[in-house]
Amino acid sequence: MTGLMKTEGAMSTAQRKVMEKKMRREAILSSARTVLIAKGFSSTTMQDVADAAGLSVGTLYLYFRDKESIFVELYTEGMRELEERITGACGGIHSPEEKIEMMAMAYFRFHNEQRSLFDAFSYFFSFPEILFKKPRRKALALRGRMILSLVQSAIEEGIKGKIFRKTDPQREALVLWSSLHGILQVEKMRDVLFPEYGMEDVYRYQVKKLIKGLLV
């Protein structure tokens, strides 16, 4: 009986250590997001991240071997959540027009609710050749293409059902997503560029315009 209690106690301690390590890793990533967005990737050092997380740089290296590894984790985290949001938004929807609209609005909500994650992978899209060497850059880009493929699939469905005109679905998906991403990128300058319009109004207008352009 005593031996069993010791085993259970040891398991509890082990589980607690795993949980503590996971929480510290998440805290590091949260601090890294703040620093990377404030200073930019090139100017950020591992010491900066360690200071923001309240850790020694030696402890930081126990979790991440370099700042590239931290950024990869942030980018992957953002893409994973975005993919879940987009697929979840289309659940039970059969119309390709509605699917595209729901995907687009899921992207809009992600931008508003997870700004630091959005900024993290937007930064990657802006400077991929500066951030990483080609093999890692290609692997990260493939993750982004998975999101784009969901839009492409909805367009292909619309073409097959003769709801959308015959066109190149991959190109249309790229144009659609790039256009919406561009609107979100200029949001920081909204007060200067279009103060008379609400951000969501402009975004929804563009979504409907893009879908209308696909219709037969």
Q: Indicate if 56 and 108 belong to the same structural domain.
A: no
pLDDT at 209 over 90: yes
* Host domain of residue 152: 74-216
Q: How many domains does the chain have?
A: 2
* The last residue of a domain, from among 39, 65, 91: 65
pLDDT reading at 164 higher than 60: yes
Residues 61, 15, single domain; the answer is yes
What is the mean pLDDT of the segment spanning 2-20?
70
Domain identity same for 105 and 140: yes
Q: Which long-range contacts (CB under 8 A, 24 or more apart) does 106-114 make?
A: 106/82, 107/82, 107/177, 107/180, 107/181, 107/184, 108/180, 108/184, 108/200, 108/203, 109/85, 110/81, 110/82, 110/85, 111/184, 111/187, 114/78, 114/81
- If we measure between CA atoms, which residue out of 94, 111, 83, 102 comes closest to residue 211? 102
Residues in Cβ contact with 181 at an 8 Å cutoff, skipping those fewer than 6 apart: 107, 122, 125
Instruction: Return the top range by mean pLDDT from 135-139, 142-146, 209-213.
Output: 209-213
* Residue 164: strand pairing partners: 215
CATH number of 137's domain:
1.10.357.10
Q: Which residue, 18, 43, 65, sits at the end of a domain? A: 65
Write out the DSSP string of 128-143. Answer: HHHHS-HHHHHHHHHH
Instruction: Give the position of tokens 């390590």.
Output: 21
Please write the tens of the pLDDT for every residue from 13-37: 888 888 999 999 999 999 998 898 7
Residues 30 and 120 in one domain: no
Q: Do 53 and 146 fall within a single domain?
A: no
Which of 36, 65, 94 corresponds to the end of one domain? 65
**CATH number of domain containing 42:** 1.10.10.60
Q: Please name the residue ranges forming H helices in the chain.
A: 2-39, 46-53, 57-63, 67-89, 96-113, 115-126, 128-131, 134-160, 169-185, 190-193, 199-214
pLDDT value of residue 213: 97
Contact 214, 167 (CB under 8 A): yes
